[in-house]
Structure 1
Amino acid sequence: MQLTWLRTDLRLHDNTALAAAAERGPTVAVYLVTPGQWLAHDDAPCKVDFWLRNLQSLSLALSELNIPLLIRHADTWDQAPQALADLCRELSIESVHVNEEYGVHESRRDAAVAQALEAQGVAFHRYLDQLLFQPGSILTKTGTYFQVFSQFRKVCYTRLHTALPRLVMAPKPQAPLKLKSDPIPEHANGFVPPTESLRALWPAGEDEARHRLEQFTDEPINDYKDERDFPAKPGTSQLSAYLAAGVVSPRQCLHAALQSNQGEFESGNIGAITWINELLWREFYKHILVGYPRVSRHCAFRPETEALAWRNAPEDLAAWQEARTGLPIIDAAMRQLQETGWMHNRLRMVVAMFLTKNLLIDWREGERFFMRHLIDGDLAANNGGWQWSASTGTDSAPYFRIFSPLSQSEKFDGDGRFIKHWLPQLAVLNKKEVHNPSAVGGLFGVADYPPPIVDLKKSRDRALAAFRNLPSRHAAGDK
């Protein structure tokens, strides 16, 4: 008997470990419910709920193939080796199959599980699945991991020209087993279920993920480059939550994008090229996680930036978290995050740069807050994005490049449609006033909207001074 241990790969199609297990013989699937670990990793309640809802959908799909889905509880990953060893003994499992995950804790967990299983004669097989390329296979000429995305992408393009990753067929139905699937828990201890309105934005299941992918690559992908930066427009794929949970794979996304662009990823439709580029950014940050493990230990990629004089400003941090900074584009974005579990990508950069530059608050505070609210929270992408914005990371924005929330707002939400949707109290303002209500002043101000908590010019100067005072701004992040 074969055992597939499901993690962030909650799908039937293009699932490498599941397909490999089914090829070897009768297969059972298992999922470990680990609420203590999820809390330790700051996983959002809406994300945990999304996992459980997708598990319910996957359980039904597996049952049609006569593959039982078992649920086991292990509060933290420290308990995973024992839980899986017990299950393997109980079912006389010959081999366990997993799709590789990345990050310090994930690597440590899998090493411990492999050791425990091999001690009782059970083989532990790992597969490349959530990435297009094996970490360590895309390296510089000196054999190190890339630190600059454009150089990484160039090597990826070369590899894609010669060997496009193939899709894996879903398993065929197997003979029925005597085992029955376990019921899927509706919620996990310590996690308050999200609102029904949030759930409705993110229907569970592989059919939904594939429908979104087909719908996006059918036409909207053509305008992706031009539309993706405008938060009031439906210009993005809305697939990030499904990618993060593994309900759809990056290979499926790549193949769908290529199909829409006559097999090209460097020429043809600029929208498709740009979206494929985003898939490779996701890939890049996962490779960084493996090549520079300090980033998954809450450390800056550029060690010299650890000396930054971040402000301890709990009141400013709370104002940012609670969407009351007095800067409409920031507050509207933070409302979107808390009510939908998602934030538009352009706005993720704007609010991150505001927190780390204008408020000069440690990027780790923002990274943690995002993880606690994002339905698509992913350690590599979230950390990479925050460190990019804070100028502490790989390939990051130069420290002197600081987005102005006002100019970003005027450029990407010109008529204030996004702002007015999330901050209805500003609906009375015209499209010029809505970006900066405090400038209206006097009797024309908005009574229940606060003034800005910070002077943008002075705070920008303060951030520049803090970065200039670092011991060595030019040191490479490869120590």
Structure 2
Amino acid sequence: MHLVWFRRDLRVLDNLALSAASASSSPVVGIFIETPQQWAEHQLAPTQAGLIQARLEALREELKALNIPLVVERANDFTEAARTVAEYATQTDAQAVFANHEYELNEVKRDERVQADLAARGIAWHTYADRNLFAPGTIKSGKGEAYKVFTPFKKACLRALDNLDLSPRRAPSVREETSVVRDIFSQLAPIEFVYPTVDVSAWVSDEKGILDCLREYCRERAADYKKHRDFPAMDGTSQLSPYLAIGALSPRQCLARLQAENGDWREPDTGAATWLSELIWRDFYQEVSAQNPAISKRQCFLSWGESVVWENDSTLFEAWKNGKTGYPIVDAAMQQLNQTGWMHNRLRMIVASFLTKDLLIDWRWGEDYFMSKLIDGDFASNNGGWQWSASVGTDAQPYFRIFNPTTQGERFDSDGRFIRRWIPALKSVPGKHVHQPWQWAEKYAQSIDYPRPVVDHAKQRKKALALFEAAKNQPQESF
């Protein structure tokens, strides 16, 4: 019997571990381990936990059609999870365990434990690079080194596309039913997490529905991605990131569908090419995380970032979290996050810049809060985005480039449509006045139930420049 350990690869189609396990006539069984204590330490959002649970329920039915049972067990943390998998493999007389690579530090240590435990039991351990278009360590510079800047990494990836078969794998064939498999099916219990979950019925969870979303996006909207992606009031992004985050969708599937529906996907400045760049950004941050384990220990990529003396005002942090900063685009974005578990990408940059450059709060506070809320939370991408915004990561935004939250709102939500949707108190503020509602209220003697700005952007910008300059003047080498 072959055991497939599902982690962040919750799909039947284009799953390398599942395909490999199914290559012979051996019976196949799937297993997933809920790790509530580990998830809590990793700030797993209840929205994402809800999506994982919903996806597991659908995945169980999809695998059942192939005569592959999916067992869901519980272990407190990764150490217990590794032991649980090894013990289950022993109990079911599995000859081998199949899994797809994960690259974060705790996950790597977990897999080293299970590999050693399985080896002691005489059980084989097979893993596959399934999570990215290009596995970490695959794309290297001419000197054989890992890239630390996105643009040359992207160019190398685009060149490599010509030489690799990145076509998605088909679903395994229907397995022959055996007595062992029948026994496991008869003992399956309902999937019930003890970890907190919230309702995610607004998101599809079956594989067909997810693939339909991918097809619709690539066919109908990807061509306009470059033109529309920065405007949060528009339906300009794919919103497929939650499925990529939990592995319900693979980047190979995304690339294949993009190519099928957009003949200009290689042409610079097209919507399709711009969306492909986002898939490559995902690979890049996975690369950075895998090559630099210190990132998983909450360290800045640029070591001078550890010298930044953050003010870390908890009152200001609460105002930021609750969308009560007095800066409408920031507050609307945080309301979107808090109410839906998702935030538009342009807004992620705006609120991250505001937290680190206006409120002078450690980017790690924001990183943790995002992970605790985001349905598409992914360690590498979330960490990379926050370090970029805080100017302490690879390919970082220069510390002297500080987003003005008011002008960002005026530029990307000029008529205030997005702001009014998420801040009902500002619905009566006319036109572009919505970006500085207190000026309008005072000028026209109006009353609004909305806080005044918690900080003065111009003053905070000067403080941020001084704070970063002081840290930068203690030069150290990056990883």
Residues 184/269 of structure 1: CA separation in 2 closer, same or farther (3 Å cut) = farther
**TM-superposed deviation, 1:141:** 2.7
CA pair 269-184 structure 1, distance change in 2 beyond 3 A: farther
Q: 1:33 to 1:184 in 2, by over 3 A?
A: farther
Shift of 1:157: 1.0
Q: Which shifted more, 285-294 or 132-141?
A: 132-141
Distance 1:445 1:144 in 2: 61
From the superposition, tell whether residues 473 and 149 of structure 1 become closer, same or farther in structure 2 (CA, over 3 Å).
Answer: farther
The Cα of 1:259 is off from its aligned counterpart by 1.4
Corresponding letter in the other structure for 2:257: A
Where does residue 77 of structure 1 map in the other structure?
Answer: 78
**CA-CA distance at 1:446 after TM superposition:** 4.0
User: Separation in 2 of the partners of 1:387 and 1:268?
Assistant: 27
1:413 matched to 2:413? The reply is yes
Structure 1 CA distance for aligned equivalents of residues 446 and 42 of structure 2: 42
- Secondary structure at 2:209 match in 1: helix
Deviation (angstroms), 1:318: 0.4
User: Displacement, 1:475?
Assistant: 5.0
Amino acid at match of 1:49: G
> Which range is displaced more, 92-101 or 76-85?
76-85
Q: How does 1:407-446 map to 2 (within 5 A)?
A: 407-442=407-442, 444-446=445-447
Alpha-carbon contact 2:35-2:76 (below 8 Å) kept:
yes
Which has the larger displacement, 35-44 or 82-91?
82-91
Residue in structure 2 matched with residue 186 of structure 1 by the alignment: 192
Higher mean C-alpha deviation, range 135-144 or range 380-389? 135-144
Q: Which residue of 1 aligns with 2:46?
A: 45
Deviation at 1:164, TM superposition (A): 3.6
Q: Deviations over 1:140-180 (max 9, x none)?
A: 23332111000101111111022241211110111113233
Q: Matched residues in 2 for 1:267 and 1:471: separation?
A: 39
Report the Cα distance in structure 1 between the residues aligned to 2:165 and 2:92, rounded to whole angstroms.
38
| Cα deviations by residue, 1:314-334 (Å, 9 ceiling, x for unpaired) | 000000001100111001000
Write the distance in 1 (CA, Å) between the matches of 2:146 and 2:75: 34
Letter matched to residue 225 of structure 1: K
Residue 21 (structure 1) aligned with residue 21 (structure 2): yes
C-alpha contact (below 8 Å) 1:289/1:380 kept by paired residues: yes
Is the alpha carbon distance of 1:316 and 1:58 closer, same or farther for their aligned partners in structure 2, counting shifts above 3 Å? Answer: same
C-alpha distance in 2 between matches for 1:446 and 1:175: 71
Between 92-101 and 139-148, the greater mean CA deviation after superposition: 139-148
Given the superposition, is the C-alpha separation of residues 282 and 471 from structure 1 closer, same or farther in structure 2, using an over 3 Å criterion?
closer
Alpha-carbon RMSD across the aligned residues, in angstroms, is 1.4
Equivalent pair of 1:37/1:75 in contact (CA under 8 Å)? yes
2:78 is matched by which residue type in structure 1? W
Deviates more, 1:177-186 or 1:115-124: 177-186
The 1:130–1:343 alpha-carbon spacing in structure 2 relative to 1, beyond 3 Å, is same
1:96 is matched with: 97
Q: Deviations over 1:444-471 (max 9, x none)?
A: 4443100000001000110011111125
Instruction: Give matches, 1:282-361, under 5 Å.
Output: 282-361=282-361
CA 1:278 to 1:471, structure 2 compared with 1: closer, same or farther past 3 Å? closer
Residues 219/281 of structure 1: CA separation in 2 closer, same or farther (3 Å cut):
same
Alpha-carbon distance in 2 for matches of 1:471, 1:186: 49
Structure 2: distance between partners of 1:145 and 1:373? 32
Identity %: 42
2:123 paired residue number: 122
Q: Does 1:267 align with 2:271?
A: no
Q: Using the alignment, how far apart are the partners of 1:238 and 1:149 within structure 2?
A: 23
Query: Contact between 2:337 and 2:343, CA under 8 Å: does it hold in 1?
Result: yes
Match of 1:81, SS state, is helix
Matches within 5 A, 1:370-381: 370-381=370-381
Q: TM-score, normalised by structure 2?
A: 0.96
1:354, CA displacement in angstroms?
0.1
Q: Which whole-Å CA distance do the structure 2 matches of 1:375 and 1:84 have between them? A: 27
- Tell me if structure 2 keeps the 8 A contact 1:52–1:184: no
- Which string of whole-angstrom CA distances, capped at 9 and with x for unpartnered residues, describes residues 19-58 of structure 1? 1101132100000011111001000011111101000000
Q: Return the letter of the residue paired with 1:185.
A: I
Deviation readout 1:213-265 (Å, 9 max, x if unpaired): 00000120010000000000000001000000111100000111111222x54
Matches within 5 A, 1:194-209: 194=198, 196=199, 199-209=200-210
Tell me the CA shift for residue 127 of structure 1.
0.3
Separation in 2, partners of 1:201, 1:394: 35
Matches of 2:118 and 2:332 in 1, distance apart? 50
Paired position in structure 2 for 1:457: 458
d(CA) in 2 for partners of 1:56 and 1:168?
22
SS of 1:29 mapped into structure 2: strand
Distance in 1 of aligned mates of 2:257 and 2:411: 31
Question: Residue 358 of structure 1 contacts residue 463 of structure 1 at CA under 8 Å; is this kept in 2?
Answer: yes
